[in-house]
Amino acid sequence: MPFNTFTTKQFISSNLIPCKSFSNFTIYHFFSALSNPSHTDHEIEAAPSDSSFKLSPNPKLGSPETDIKIPPFDNSSNFSSKLKLGSCETEINLPPFDSSFKVAPTPKLGSCETEMKMPPFDNSFKFAPKPMLGSCETEMEIPISDKLFKEAPKLGSFKMGDSTFYSLVEKYASSGDFGSLEMVFDRMKREKRVSIEKSFILVFRAYGKARLPEKAVELFDRMVDEFQCKRTVKSFNSVLNVIVQAGLYRRALDFYARVINNSNIMPNGLSFNLVMKTMCKLRMVDRAMEVFREMPSWKCEPDVYTYCTLMDGLCKDDRIDEAVILLDEMQIEGCFPVPVTFNVLINGLCKKGDLARAAKLLDNMFLKGCVPNEVTYNTLIHGLCLKGKLEKAVSLLDRMVSNKYVPTDVTYGTIINGFIKQGRASDGVQILLAMQEKGHLANEYVYSALVSGLFKEGKPEEALKIWTEMIEKGVKPNTVVYSAFIDGLCQEGRPDEAKEILSEMIKMGCTPNAYTHCSLMKGYFKTGDSNKAIFVWKEMATSGITCNEICYSVLIHGLCQDGKLKEAMMMWKQMLGKGLVPDAVAYSSMIHGLCNAGSVDQGLRLFNEMLCRGSESQPDVIAYNIILNALCKVDRVSLAIDLLNTMLDQGCDPDAVTCNIFLKTLNEKENVSRDGEDFLDKLVLKLYRRQRIVGASRIIEVMLQNFLYPKSSTWEMIIRELCKPKKVQGAINKCWSDLFI
């Protein structure tokens, strides 16, 4: 039978995956094409009868110029050689040359070093040591294609094994192709393939990434009945973790109880950790502690994660002392804490404000050989800022840098915000400069806080400088920054400039919110231009911004101050018609407007309505002073005193304005000095009996300013209470703090 010519171009165009070396499947396909022309539709050419069998020098596989020419020989030869390629045994009939023709005894399949020795004609037939596929020598890992698995069985005796299906499951799970996964599983069932648990775990993780916990539970339930795959604690934990990560904590506990009670799966340490985490999320800390105590009966030892989970749950449940005791128990049991363990406790103590114990815990951390990390320092700095200990926070920041830890933007932002809350925005600017020296670029929220703080401190020029610096550094202002800048300009009585900034804000694509417009309205009302304020209100309504309680409160307050009570009443009714609940400012403004207009009874009715409202609308000292002043002006002092007693019962302490209102009323009587002393002295005693010592001391301060003297017994009670050791130390600390500031 004559041999034929088969071009390399045709060989490469077949449905094979390029690879760096010849695989079993590739060699089998190649020799099948040579020995059986019916397997391919490639062009066949007759070779000349006297041509020698040769291969062009240095052939490049994948190049169309390469032809393998095979000379015709006599068909009478019965010489055959069997070459085992993988799982396929292929007979290749070759002509009888001489004894020099032989196949290497143990060819390394898949290796480029495989040689087949041919008779010494012109050239020996052999594979190139390092074939260049597509003239590219770089190794390429081509993804598995399902087309290969569909077509491969048609090419010969190749059969798909169970590992083939595992590869498909792995591929589809990583890509999230759940439809194809179901098709693969259906085929595995039809062909009664062996299913391994590892395949299902891959699918469970894919369901977790796709936030499909119920699908994971459904597949877990099908594992035994449909796929005859034994479930172990590994697949159980995988599904349980998917449910917990999805935030379905009740569902996780139900799944845990159902599986443990109805199967032979024994939970391990990870199972208990997930269950305790779920219980702590549900604030079932006591039940989590019970599960923790049951672990030894299941032959499970708690690990660091177990203790950290419980400590975090106890701290969030405001049970810091129990969490610290658990730390000691942990070390007694031979489980040594890690930095995360201490971070959990330090965070809990800082949120509670117990910085002294947090500092001791930090020292204990060093003694145990645990080095504080960025989280430790950030937590302590945040705690110090919450307590107003900014100098210590800055000192700890320097220590953090000296220990080669890099503070984050959040760390710097926390300190800057702490300075601003204390009215020290200039110190916050210094922290900003130090932050920039370290290579950190402040975000828009830091700039917003600085701009707002500087305006509140009456430093508009510095605020404008910060604004300009932010623009120069390429930080794009957002709605929060623009709103802070507009509010600051309005506080300075410059609403027209603020209006220009608002126009620029809209041009830059930032949408102003209700707060932005409220600031602008307050600015116009402050300068006495109520018409422009009303125009801003109408502009806000036409732009589609929803007007909330604060917007109505600002408008009503401004209209009442401007004497436009009728317009204010219209807005009041409109607000109630929309179902909005007025806040304390809106109530106080309306009561003040009605009382100034002589409608004291109507104002009193509105005040009583205010008392019946929720906590957000309860009257404050300003509202009480408004109605008390109105009642005293119309000589209804007895009703005013009754309202003062209500004020005390509601937990609202009178201030200097309250005292002066009654002193002014008593001044109209003959013995003003005596009546004023008795009235305020009784007020001090009422506050003392209610354990409101601060309020009582303020009343005494007002008495002394008006040359009125409390009784000696009252003096003794207040001084004894104020001079308790803790309060004295607190007063001393405040004095030192004021000196440093």
How far is it, in rounded angstroms, from Cα 74 to Cα 722?
122
- Does the pLDDT at position 146 exceed 90? no
Give the mean pLDDT of the chain: 79
- Model confidence over 668-692: pLDDT tens digits? 765 555 678 888 889 999 998 888 8
Res 111: pLDDT = 42
- Does the pLDDT at position 31 exceed 90? no
How far is it, in rounded angstroms, from Cα 224 to Cα 236?
13
What are the residue ranges of helices labelled H in 387-478?
390-402, 409-421, 425-437, 444-456, 460-472
Res 669: pLDDT = 64
- Does the pLDDT at position 4 exceed 60? no
- Does the pLDDT at position 123 exceed 60? no
Res 355: pLDDT = 87
Contact predicate 271/256, CB 8 Å: yes
Q: Which residues contact 481 (CB under 8 A, 6 or more apart)?
A: 444, 445, 447, 448, 451, 470
- Model confidence over 438-475: pLDDT tens digits? 888 888 888 988 999 999 898 989 999 999 999 888 88
- What is the 8-class DSSP label of residue 90? E
Q: Which of 11-25, 72-86, 194-208 has the highest mean pLDDT?
A: 194-208
Ranking 50-59, 500-509, 532-541, 545-554 by mean pLDDT, the lowest is 50-59
C-alpha dihedral (34, 38, 40, 46), degrees to nearest 10 = 60
How far is it, in rounded angstroms, from Cα 364 to Cα 512?
51
- Model confidence over 559-591: pLDDT tens digits? 998 989 999 999 999 999 999 988 889 999 999
- Phi, psi dihedrals of residue 661, rounded to the nearest 5°: -60, -45
- Does the pLDDT at position 101 exceed 50? no
Q: Residue 735: pLDDT band by 50, 70, 90 thresholds?
A: low
Distances (CA, A) of 711 to 233, 412, 466, 691, 693: 78, 52, 54, 19, 16
- For the chain, the domains span 159-265, 563-618, 619-709
How far is it, in rounded angstroms, from Cα 651 to Cα 686?
12
Q: Residue 718: pLDDT band by 50, 70, 90 thresholds?
A: confident
- Model confidence over 214-269: pLDDT tens digits? 999 999 999 999 999 999 999 999 999 999 999 999 999 999 999 999 999 999 99
Nearest CA to 512 among 544, 535, 534, 473? 544
- Model confidence over 345-375: pLDDT tens digits? 999 999 888 888 998 898 889 888 888 888 9
Q: Which residues contact 288 (CB under 8 A, 6 or more apart)?
A: 275, 276, 279, 280, 309, 310, 313
| Maximal C-alpha separation, the chain | 148
Q: How many residues does the chain have?
A: 741
- Phi, psi dihedrals of residue 706, rounded to the nearest 5°: -100, 15
Q: Residue 407: pLDDT band by 50, 70, 90 thresholds?
A: confident
When pLDDT is averaged across residues 364-387 and rounded to a whole number, the result is 89
Res 367: pLDDT = 87
Res 408: pLDDT = 82
Ranking 62-76, 326-340, 704-718 by mean pLDDT, the lowest is 62-76
Res 100: pLDDT = 43
Ranking 17-26, 374-383, 506-515 by mean pLDDT, the lowest is 17-26
Find where tokens 């099908």 sit: 222
Res 647: pLDDT = 92
Residues paired with residue 116 on neighbouring β-strands, in sequence order: 103
Helices 637-649 and 672-689 cross at an angle (nearest 10°) of 20
Percent of the chain residues past pLDDT 90, beyond the cut = 43
Higher-confidence residue: 57 or 392? 392
How far is it, in rounded angstroms, from Cα 596 to Cα 590?
10
When pLDDT is averaged across residues 70-95 and rounded to a whole number, the result is 42
When pLDDT is averaged across residues 471-489 and rounded to a whole number, the result is 90
When pLDDT is averaged across residues 150-175 and rounded to a whole number, the result is 70
